[in-house]
Structures are given as C-alpha cells and as structure tokens.
Amino acid sequence: MNKLMLLFSCLIFLISGSVNAIITDKAVTSTLNATYEVDAVWATTYQVTVTLKNIQTSSTTSWVSTFTMPASYVLSSHVSSGVFTVSGQNVTVKNLSSKGIIAPGKSITYSMMINMPRGMPTVINNLQATANGGTTPPQIIIPVAPVLNPILEISANDYTVSWNSVANTTSYILQQDSAANFSNAQIVATGNILSKTFMDQPIGSYYYRVIAQNNTWSSPFSNTKMITISDNGPITPPTITPAIEYSAWYIDWTSWFTGPPFVIPTDVNLINVFVGRLNFGADGKPTMDGFGNMTLEQLQKFSTYCASQQSKIAVKVSIGGGGGSYDKCWDLLTTSNSQAFAQGMADFCHAHGVVGVDFDYEAFGSEEQEVLVGTLIKQFKALDPNFQTSLCTNAGFGPNFPWQAVVKTIMDAAAISPGISALDRLYVMSYYNSIEDEKVWVTGWANWMIQNYGFTPARISVGIDDFDAHAYDPVVFRAWAASQGYSTAHWAFDPAHP
C-alpha cells in the first residue's frame, strides 16, 4: 500500500510538473469567435467588417484570422486595423503591433473592401481566428477623463460637440440628456472619433458628457457642456473671404517639391496640391494621403515656406479627381464615418499647415454618395470655420450636361442655412472648348450659383488650362475672368517650366 501511494504521489508530481511547464514556457492557443458583416455594397465592390470576440477567460496577446475569397474576387488596398497577407484567394490578417490584446468578453474589428465581378454575392468564406494568451494578465490601463471643448455653433439648429484625444483609448462614448444630472442619458455617438455634429436640432436644452475606453477599461466621465436651441434666428455664419483668388495646381512632377526655396508662380495667392485621397491611416483612423511624389514632410515644408513669403501664399490640398483611381476614395464614405473623416481631414490640415481642401468629385457614383460629399464639406467646415473649401465641376452648364444636377445635390447637402453654404468656391474646369463656349458656360454657372446659393462672382473660380489643352489664349481668358469679377485657377503649374 505504501509503495502504491508513493508511486501515485510521484506520478501526480510528474503530471503537475509537466502541466506547469506548458503554461510557463509556451503560449496558450485559443479559438476566437469570428463573425462578419457587409457594411456597404457598390456595383463591383463591397466593404466587410470582421468582429473577433474573445470567449476565453484570459486576455490574448496576439491574434490571427483567416478567410477565403470566391474565385475572381480581389482584396483592394482599402484595409484597416490589421496586417493583411494574400495568397491566391486565401487571406491572412494579423494584429497590428499595438492591437494584440483582447480582454475576456471583449471584441475587436478589422475591415476591408473587396472587388468582385458585377452581380456576384458579397461573401467571405471559411472565416476563423485564433489567439495566443500568456500566463501573466495584461496591465490594466485606465484612460483619464476626456475634456469637452466649448460647443461650436454653426447655425440656429446646428452645432458640433468635440473633445480632446486621450492616451490609451480605442473609442469614445458621447452621451446626451435634457437634464444636467443625466437621469435619462442617451448614447448619441460612439467610435474612434473626437467630435459629433448635430443638424436640425429641435428647440430645447442639451447636456453632453463623454467617456474614453480601451479594450479593458473605461475612463470617468468628462466635464459637462450645455447648449440651448431657441427660435432667436441663426447665429453669424462663418466668414468667407470675398477676395479674388488667383490659384494654381501643383502637379506630380519630380521638380515640384524641390526646395526650399520653391518655384512659385507670380501673383498667386493660393496653391492647390494635387492630388490626394481619403484613406485610413496605420492606426485605423480616417485621414488623407497621396499627393503624388510629395511626402508629408515635404508638404509641411512647402506650406511653411509659402506662408513665410511676403505675399503669404496659402496652400490647400485637393482630394479625388480626374475620374480615375483617386475618385474611388469617395467609396470609403458612409453615413457612419463621414464625421470621423471630417475630423481626420481637419487634424491633417492643422498638422501640416494646410488651409483647406478642394473637393474634386468626378466619379458620379450615386446621389447618396453626392449627399455624403456635401455633408462631409459641411462637417469639415464646422470643425474650423477658417478652413477654405472648394468644389470642382466640369464646365458644360445646362440641361445637356450632367454636372448641374450633381453640384445641386452636393450644394444642398452642404447648406448651413438658406443662402449660406459651407462651400467657399466653385471651380469651373474650363479647359477644352473654344473661349466663347467656355465663357457661356462659366456665366451660366456663376448666375446659377449667385441666384440659388448666395455666391458672389469672386467665389466662382475659372479653371484655365495653359498647360496642355491649347483651346484658347489663357492670357485673354484670364483678362475676361478678371473683368467679370471672377477668380481664376490655373491648371497646371509645372515648376520645371515656370
């Protein structure tokens, strides 16, 4: 009996030692609950968000997810919140270096856009995910409370609530109530955003507070801000500079960013850097990038140099355009992320010394997308009324051309109040026809914008092509534009041939 007990004790010791060695020296692999939703569908593209939920009792340290695409489907470059690898139709997604921890019961998401043959189903197959967890629980980091900024009034019933960015935070929750004690608080915004714009709010008082959260904890509530909506009429709208604008586009040639010093056209007071796009950054947040061969560091040097000149040249960036691949950036816009894109664009402009954005919309995707573009312009302007905003359109004006209906949809969505628009200028791309044709079309655009949207002639910018169209004498066209009180925008300035 004693020998058996001794043998049994030794066996238990060996088994226990073996288990302890596994836990101590190796990571534990567990299965995550993986699901997906199709967020948006276009003719040949769809957007998918995958949710991975940790159903185990310990936190993960890293994760990997796999799925397969149907034959002939292609993963686009628009992916976020993961490291994507493609082998044939098989896709592997690993966590970003700082996004491997998923607390018990918590979830993370990653998303992508997939190109498909027209009319085919919007699916992914064989979705699964696994995670590695260590024996030491992750450090719990509690975010500090955010700070609400003063509420920015846009018009009588429109305003923006915003707050500061908090470290160690993955998302924010904004609450609204009609009582200061938040006895009936409602969640009105969630996500990795720093502001929320409210439109057409009914008369009443509104209280706001926000919390920050990460994968393991939530912060205390922020301070409270209150706004009262009354029937006292609209507040003073953002000031729009009526001065004549003489601008030029900088295009993607190797010489354009060589400096400082930089080659600047004479008499120019604004330069558009062409062409950029909406995109998701490495951190998954909406932002802007592109701009040809110009790096962000060079863009900042360029804007700093222009601002330092005696004439104080302003620099804008142009988003979308050309009717080609850059126009596809508008496909990223949804009703749920347009405010986040507006915030990302505003942060980009402030960070790089850029005074605003030229919205070049030539894709003609859908009326819903046109509304989103107009809404984005309005949300962007609301974050900083000093931003300069413009919209490009083709020259042909009237019932025989499609551009007027597109611009109307965008302009209506960008309206702050009757006769007041978040759009500062309309660029009319007058490039390819005779000067007499172009004059008629520009005049049509100007009169229509003046009558329907409260514009002035100076807010109409005549696009003059003195680079490759050669349909007219650009000097004569510029003189005519000046005689009508219009602004001018020259396409395209080549620093190698000033």
CATH superfamily of 246-493: Glycosidases (3.20.20.80)
CATH 2.60.40.290 intervals, the chain: 28-133
pLDDT value, residue 497: 56
CATH 2.60.40.10 intervals, the chain: 152-229
Once rounded to an integer, what is the mean pLDDT over residues 228-241? Answer: 53
pLDDT in tens, 370-422: 999 999 999 998 888 888 999 999 899 988 888 999 999 999 999 887 778 89
Once rounded to an integer, what is the mean pLDDT over residues 103-118? Answer: 90
pLDDT in tens, 277-299: 898 888 888 889 887 777 888 88
pLDDT at 117 over 90: no
Once rounded to an integer, what is the mean pLDDT over residues 418-437? Answer: 89
pLDDT value, residue 235: 41
The whole-model pTM stands at 0.55
Best CA proximity match to 223, nearest among 147, 142, 144 = 147
Q: Which has more pLDDT, 232 or 455?
A: 455
pLDDT value, residue 50: 95
CATH superfamily of 152-229: Immunoglobulins (2.60.40.10)
pLDDT value, residue 363: 72
Once rounded to an integer, what is the mean pLDDT over residues 26-54? Answer: 82
Which residues does 155 contact at the CB level (< 8 Å), separation at least 6? Answer: 234, 235, 237, 416, 417, 420
CATH topology of domain 28-133: Immunoglobulin-like (2.60.40)
pLDDT in tens, 126-179: 888 988 854 344 455 778 999 999 888 777 778 889 998 888 888 999 999 988
| Tokens at 33, concatenated | 């609950």
* Angle value at C-alpha 316, between 310 and 317, nearest 5 degrees: 145
Spatial separation of the C-alpha atoms in residues 314 and 262, rounded to whole Å: 14
